[in-house]
Amino acid sequence: RAMEIVYLDSDIVVCVKPARVLSTDEPGGLPELLREALGNPKADIRTVHRLDRVVSGLMVLARNAKAASELSKQIRDGEFEKEYLAVVHGTPEEQGTLRDLLGRDKARRMTFVSDTPAKGIQEAVLHYQLLSRRDDLSKVRIQLETGRTHQIRVQFSSRGFPLVGERKYAEIE
């Protein structure tokens, strides 16, 4: 599988993560594919942020420990901006902020919306703008304020706007 590398220097590599590829460093994961593309099976490639397996998009990976540390600091400090495009079923408002309490059912590997604060429940916040509509589909631009597991999928699905192609959370409303 050919990797699309958008930018490369001694500290970082920016590439397009294909859909159905894990972001993490395991067999068949993005770091392994990058090592193959760079022709160096021992290259130091470190994941500092993730995209769900089903999602494709640009990712920035570190090429050494110092770069990984700096990128992680930028993410923690909110200096590293991530923007997402998604197509959802239905028509949300022109723009909005989605704010929920999310929990994680580790046994089912599912994230859920909670009505009440509790141990393990964390606030999830995202902002979106409606970009276009066609038939019963809407394209939205999303900025995450928090980065919870499956946050975008759960927050939109729980309001009746599941992402196109979504299977895991398509039924929650």
Q: Which residue has the tokens 């640009």?
A: 58
Contacts of 167 (CB under 8 A, 6+ apart): none
Q: Report the distance separating Cα 79 and Cα 71, nearest Å.
A: 9
Torsion angles phi and psi, residue 155, rounded to 5: -65, -40
Would you name the residues annotated as active-site residues?
Answer: 52
Label the pairing between strands 95-105 and 57-62.
unpaired
Record the tokens describing residue 6, joined without a space.
């958008």
d(C-alpha 147, C-alpha 82), whole Å: 10
